[in-house]
Amino acid sequence: MSDPIEKRLQEKFKEIPKWAEDFPLDHPKDANISRRDFIRYLGLVSLGFFATTLGVWVKALFKSQQVHSYTSMKIVDRDDLKIGESYVFEIAGVKEPAILVRLNQDEFVAFGQKCTHLQCPVIWKKDEKILFCPCHKGAFNGTTGDVLYGPPERPLPKLKIDVRTDGIYFVGMERGELV
């Protein structure tokens, strides 16, 4: 005579419960599902990476083709800046500050003030006639903005300056861009 409890249990689990379908005890089948899921997951991750890379590339391309339009402006009165002195100023619509240097009676130069290494502000060293970056001891030529020594690899952005009787004007960029 069969055990009535066992009979009842057999009745109850005649159908495969839902959890048993999701987590089969059949190991080869289980491995197949995992491999398929893994490949699907890998595909999604690759797609994500591809989309991100594409986005960054498109953004960089768009940025490189953007043409800044600068508004010309008066920086200082001619006699406000003594020979050998510098003056830090801002241009409308531009976050990056710039630095104007009076090299001699009629010669003025101006550069973006952010070091091209890691963006520290450069300072004018009158005695050495250089623009010096105190962060990692980089230096730029005070007349050309070219790198003299230190970690920077690119020259400073150079501004176009117009020396007029009533003052010194910024009129655009000669090299590079300010952001």
Residue 18 Cα to chain centre, angstroms: 51
- Between 117 and 160, CB nearer to ligand FES: 117
Stretch touching ligand FES by CB under 6 A, among 22-30, 59-67, 84-92, 135-143: 135-143
**Calpha distance 132→138 (Å, rounded):** 6
Stretch touching ligand FES by CB under 6 A, among 22-30, 72-80, 134-142, 155-163: 134-142
Size (the chain), residues: 179
Query: How many CA atoms lie less than 13 Å away from 11 in the CB half-sphere?
Result: 6
Asked if residue 117 binds ligand FES (CB under 6 A), the reply is yes
**Calpha distance 156→111 (Å, rounded):** 6
Stretch touching ligand FES by CB under 6 A, among 27-35, 42-50, 51-59, 117-125: 117-125
Sign of CA dihedral 66, 72, 77, 78: positive
Output the smallest distance, CB 131 to ligand FES, in A. Answer: 10
Interface residue with ligand FES among 76, 94, 120, 148 (CB under 6 A) is 120
Interface residue with ligand FES among 8, 40, 74, 136 (CB under 6 A) is 136
Interface residue with ligand FES among 94, 123, 135, 173 (CB under 6 A) is 135
Output the smallest distance, CB 98 to ligand FES, in A. Answer: 16
**Looking at residue 114, what DSSP letter applies?**
B
**Contacts for 129 with CB less than 8 Å, ≥ 6 apart:** 103, 141, 142, 143
Interface residue with ligand FES among 97, 151, 167, 176 (CB under 6 A) is 151
**Calpha distance 82→103 (Å, rounded):** 9
Rule CB under 6 A: which residues touch ligand FES? 115, 117-118, 120, 133, 135-136, 138, 150-152
